[in-house]
Structure 1
Amino acid sequence: MTERKQGRRSAEAAEQTKCLILRVAADMFCELGYERVSLRNISEKAGVSHSLIRHHFGSKEKIWQAVSDGMDDFLQSYMVQLVNEMPENTPPNQKIYLFMVRILAFALMNPHPIQMIADAIRQDDDALPLYFLRSEGEFAAIFTQISSEYNQECPETPTDHWESKWQMLLFAHGAVSLTPMMQKTWPAMAENRDKLLINHWELFNTIMANQFGISKEDMIHPEHLSEIVIKMCCPIEELTA
């Protein structure tokens, strides 16, 4: 019995260590970019030995893939939860509008995924972006379902789910990569990132409302983006908390 308990504790400790490594690596990949991060950097920041990282993952690319997998799984779960939270009688145009503006709110408050995507595309090697794109079918399925419901209800103003996804990516990436320009756009709040993001999000909010025929009364205008972001903890964060 004692041996089984010790074995279970050892397994839990190993899993916590792996998740700590992934959390630290995710932060470093987003802050510095893939090329500037080394296993030694990660080991020093995580406070674990270089050999332990190699034992758990083998290489920097394997760590990057594990981080990518974790983000993929979490984002897919998040989008499903976002759709499930909407009442069944939500009109299709309201449904797609809420989905789009709330997904962008999440992306603006949690920029790691878009930072990882952008950094992967900048690499000379196609391996990283291709690894990201392998799961595009799962993400497309959720967008396709919502778009199909809308197109059936509003055939006179059809939408394309790839274009919707592209619009969201543009706004998500712009806030991360063009922050100085965003500050120039709203100089009075240049030092308040929360307010900058709200203003940036409101531009998208207006576009989506016009695109899907949402009345002013049915639009949402949160004071803080956190009001419309679902509180879901990433498994990596749960295990290292």
Structure 2
Amino acid sequence: MSPKRVNSGRKKAVEAEITRDHILVSASTLFSTKGFDATSLREIAQLADVTHSTITHHFGAKQDIWYAISDRNIADYQQQLAMSLVQVIKNEHEPLAVFKTAVEVLIDTLLRHPQLVRLISMEHDINSERAIYLDDKLNQTHHMVSSLFDQAKAVSPRLQPFNADTFLVALLGLISAPALFPILQKTLTQTDITDANFNPHYKGLIINILFGE
């Protein structure tokens, strides 16, 4: 195959990936604000600035786009979690440090992708097949993190009031508040939750509340 054909093939592959990404980002915005059922392929196409046929070419049905969004976000979280745990276990064997790293990865992921929080919330509100799919995907990780929690609790007085489930509820409640209640910004006078400095500051507050640091 000539170099020209190879370069042309690579260019088309890159362009296709960019198009897919635009579609996923646009669909994620609509699904997390209007809900899956209220969003049409036409609206996704308009926001992504592509044709309806382009969407069906890359994904097929609307349901396939939703699964692609969910899989990509969950895979990102699980990959970051695995990489971070390998690193901390390599350098630090203290159970509390290992568990705290897992918590920090979850905080970073959900603060970085607030639409994922809203997406999950909307699906559970209607208890759809998509909610069951998310449960199955996320429960695999939750069971592993719960084991890390139990090990950390054995050496941390701060964690004694919690069990693995109540800790998760408290953690998700703290993380999700800015994403689920953007109207808060209209009532706040000292904090801009849309500012780039908000996420690291808020992450520190969550860690302090739950771990007493």
Q: TM-score range by the shorter chain?
A: 0.7 to 0.9
State the 1:20 CA deviation: 2.4
Q: How does 1:1-241 map to 2 (within 5 A)?
A: 1-2=1-2, 5=6, 6-86=8-88, 88-101=91-104, 103-123=106-126, 126-151=128-153, 153=155, 157=160, 160-181=163-184, 184=187, 187-191=188-192, 193-194=194-195, 201=203, 203-210=205-212, 219=213
Q: Which moved more, 1:18-27 or 1:141-150?
A: 141-150
- 8 Å Cα contact 1:175-1:200 kept in structure 2: no
Q: CA RMSD in A?
A: 3.1
- 8 Å Cα contact 1:171-1:204 kept in structure 2: yes
Task: Provide runs of 4+ in structure 1 moved above 6 Å.
Answer: none
Supply the AA of the counterpart residue of 1:59: A
CA distance in 2, matches of 1:177, 1:95: 28
State the 1:201 CA deviation: 4.3
Supply the AA of the counterpart residue of 2:140: E
Aligned length: 208
- 8 Å Cα contact 1:92-1:149 kept in structure 2: yes
TM, length-normalised to structure 1: 0.71
Look up the match of 1:215: none
Q: Which moved more, 1:82-91 or 1:130-139?
A: 82-91
CA distance in 2, matches of 1:132, 1:68: 8
CA distance in 2, matches of 1:101, 1:145: 16
Identity %: 21
Supply the AA of the counterpart residue of 1:150: A
- 8 Å Cα contact 2:77-2:109 kept in structure 1: no
Structure 2 unpaired stretches of 5+:
none
| SS of the residue 1:34 aligns to | coil
